[in-house]
Structure 1
Amino acid sequence: MGDANWRIDHTGIGVADIQAAVRFYDAVLGALGLRPLIRITKDFGVATSVDDPDLGGVGYGADYPIFWIDVFHPSGVKQHTAFRAKTRDEVEAFYRVGLEAGGRDNGAPGPRAGGYPPGYFAAFVIDPDGNNIEVVLREG
């Protein structure tokens, strides 16, 4: 079975501070056209708002949740997740709002060399839990 036949339906990460993570991911994923589609409580009910004191998780996507942040899975394990951008402007916006929302620089927007395929334009931001969050545009 070739790579084109494999699909990931959704994924996610555990976070220590859900409110800090919501601020960060609302900003960086919003730059890519993704938004919070569902919020759940710690007992898997529907959360009434982002400020719900019992907020347990948020699912982001365009049509259905493809990326989750939650308090159920281990946090601080320093994972890497890469999101695909449609334009260089999205890469730039992701990086800028990521830093503004409390992320730390881990690689400014630009072309990558040294093991990356040709046309790999990316940026990297460390989220509030120490995860390496990347956005990539594959040009060419």
Structure 2
Amino acid sequence: MLDHIGFKVADFAKSRAFYTRVLATLGYGEVLDVTPEMTGTDTHHLGYGKDGNPTFWISTGNTPPTGLHVAFVAPNRAAIDAFHREALAAGATDNGGPGLRPHYHPTYYAAFVLDPDGVNIEAVCHAPE
């Protein structure tokens, strides 16, 4: 349904370091860096994804969102475990460790962290193992 999503972050460099490190555990990386010089504005945008397709964006702006929840697809449960470890090592706050969430469905395996701006970030895998 969605093509991409993006939001402003309070500290672009800190969020860039965080997302670059954490999203690598799920197979995603920096895809498109749109600098202020490119747009002629003072706004910096960075798109993450894979295969040249940016689907998740962060931007400068000092107005991080409130109440936002973003869930990233993980290729397997081991990637979710790695996501959670790396996120905590990168300064995230634990918001629900890796494990099954059978109240969603029997094979819903996920982990949740709060990013540097307090955004609820999740990695999820629906596969049976």
Whichever residue aligns with residue 98 of structure 2, its letter is: P
SS at match of 2:18: helix
Contact 2:80 2:124 in 1 (8 A): yes
The alignment's TM-score, normalised by the length of structure 2, stands at 0.88
The reply to whether residue 34 of structure 1 matches residue 22 of structure 2 is no
Deviation at 1:8, TM superposition (A): 1.1
Deviation at 1:38, TM superposition (A): 1.4
Distance in structure 2 (CA, Å) of the matches to 1:21 and 1:73: 12
Partner of 1:136: 124
- The worse-fitting range, judged by mean Cα deviation, of 83-92 and 36-45 is 36-45
Q: Of the candidates 47, 64, 76, which is equivalent to residue 75 of structure 1?
A: 64
Query: Share of identical aligned residues, percent?
Result: 43
Distance in structure 1 (CA, Å) of the matches to 2:61 and 2:21: 22
Partner of 1:103: 92
Unmatched tracts of structure 2, length 5 or more: none
Distance in structure 2 (CA, Å) of the matches to 1:122 and 1:33: 16
SS at match of 2:97: coil
Unmatched tracts of structure 1, length 5 or more: 1-6, 47-53
The alignment's TM-score, normalised by the length of structure 1, stands at 0.82
Q: Flag the 1:10–1:73 CA change in 2: closer, same or farther, 3 A.
A: farther
SS at match of 1:9: coil
